[in-house]
Structure 1
Amino acid sequence: MASGSAIHDATPSVRQQAVLDAVLDLMVEEGDQLTMDAVARRASCSKETLYKWFRDRDGLLTATVRWQASRVRTGQYEAHALDVAALSESLRDFATTWLGVISSRASIALNRIAIGDAASRKSNLGSIVLANGRFAIGDRLKPVLEAGRAAGLLAFDDTETAFRTFFGLVGRDVQIRLLLGDAITFDAAEIRRDAARAVEQFLALYGQPKR
């Protein structure tokens, strides 16, 4: 049977969300010692249910990464009526939620395990995180950037390059420091300030001058 989540891109049910949160909790507590048995015990469900929902361990990991990445939002906007205020708000929403996610204990644990597994080829978690984390999040934000360009608010030639610039302005060295054990902490107000600063810097680089 092919690996991958049986729930695909659909929003997981409340019961499935509890299972995915259990996976994240186990990663924080036990590192890469993650088994279907352990997840079933923690989530108070049967292994048969896990296999029915997620097919296999890779499917469970894929659904877990998607669930964590779903917390990163781009806000609501109307492409046909996009202005600087709406564009800035959508970018700030992305930056705020992304910083909140990457600085969480669950994401730190998940990414540490993914890096270790990618180096040792122990599992497919590294490629799963890339596909359903970084690349999926990029696909979520790029339409916002392209809508800003279509509205004459942004000027760039390559969407991927513009996204990577914004991604770098938001993240700076935060994620690598967290992964390496730096005990930096962020409260909600600091995350909002960092997000607003990144948006301001991005618009200074790519924003169209007012006519």
Structure 2
Amino acid sequence: MGYPDPTTTAGRRQRVLAAVRALMAEQGFRVSMDAVAQRAGCSKQTLYAQFGSKNALLQDLMQEHLDITTSRLEAFDGQVREPLLAFAIEHLERISAPDVVASIRLFSAESPQFPEEARSIWRDGGESLLARLAAWLSLAMDAGCLRRDQPHVAAEILLSMMLGMDLERQRFSVPQRTPEAQHTWAELAVDTFLRAYAPPPRAAHC
């Protein structure tokens, strides 16, 4: 797969977002636009012109993360297990990436000092992820592929099952699951969820 030309607007955007990801792992909420510009190799004026503000830049980063993670949940095509499993594997891989693990640890420690930034990260990250998953599960419920029962609750249950104790392992620097073990866990979580939310036999259409 090719990479965006770094001299184009799209290429510069990817370079900036990569710089933000790296800096968040090093500095947490203390990332400045000066540091981003220096790491990305562009001027601060260019940074503001393209993204508008630090908050908008962080929103763009979270949006990109969500778009990639939920790419299999953009539409409902009558399939349930395959897209949910692809989503679970992608999500687990992303939250176990070294830069994400480092960022989560810093955010957890710094949230009391940066409450507004912490709420923003939660709103644009965790809350938006929950809403997207709930919307997709609602479509599956409408199609008769899942038992109809509070999509937002179902989404939170599935995310909790997918994560298991992974965040606790990250917090205490305990070795995480191998990619193979992550895949096995994702299958177990999704299949257990599907059994719990299976529609009545006569109502199943998937």
TM-score (ref. length: structure 2): 0.83
- Shift in CA distance, 35/116, structure 1 to aligned 2, threshold 3 Å: same
1:129 aligns with 2:126: no
Q: Deviations over 1:129-182 (max 9, x none)?
A: 211111111222122211221121211321111111111110111123213322
Structure 1 stretches of 4+ with a deviation exceeding 6 A read none
- Shift in CA distance, 123/48, structure 1 to aligned 2, threshold 3 Å: farther
The match for 1:22 is 19
The match for 1:49 is 46
The match for 1:204 is 195
- Decide whether the 8 Å contact of 2:131 with 2:152 is kept in 1: no
Query: Which secondary structure state, in structure 2, belongs to the residue aligned with residue 13 of structure 1?
Result: helix
- One-letter identity of the residue aligned with 1:47: K
The match for 2:183 is 192
1:158-197 alignment to 2 at 5 Å? 158-187=150-179, 189-197=180-188
1:18-167 alignment to 2 at 5 Å? 18-75=15-72, 79=76, 82=78, 86-120=79-113, 122=114, 124-167=116-159
Residue 123 of structure 1, CA deviation: 5.8
- One-letter identity of the residue aligned with 1:95: A
Q: Distance in 2 between matches of 1:119 and 1:125?
A: 10
- Shift in CA distance, 164/170, structure 1 to aligned 2, threshold 3 Å: same
Query: Which secondary structure state, in structure 2, belongs to the residue aligned with residue 71 of structure 1?
Result: helix
Query: Which secondary structure state, in structure 1, belongs to the residue aligned with residue 112 of structure 2?
Result: helix
Higher deviation after alignment, 103-112 or 167-176: 103-112
Q: Deviations over 1:36-73 (max 9, x none)?
A: 11111110000001111222222222222223333312
Residue 74 of structure 1, CA deviation: 4.8
- One-letter identity of the residue aligned with 2:53: D
Structure 1: 5+ residue stretches without partners: 1-11
- Shift in CA distance, 110/119, structure 1 to aligned 2, threshold 3 Å: same
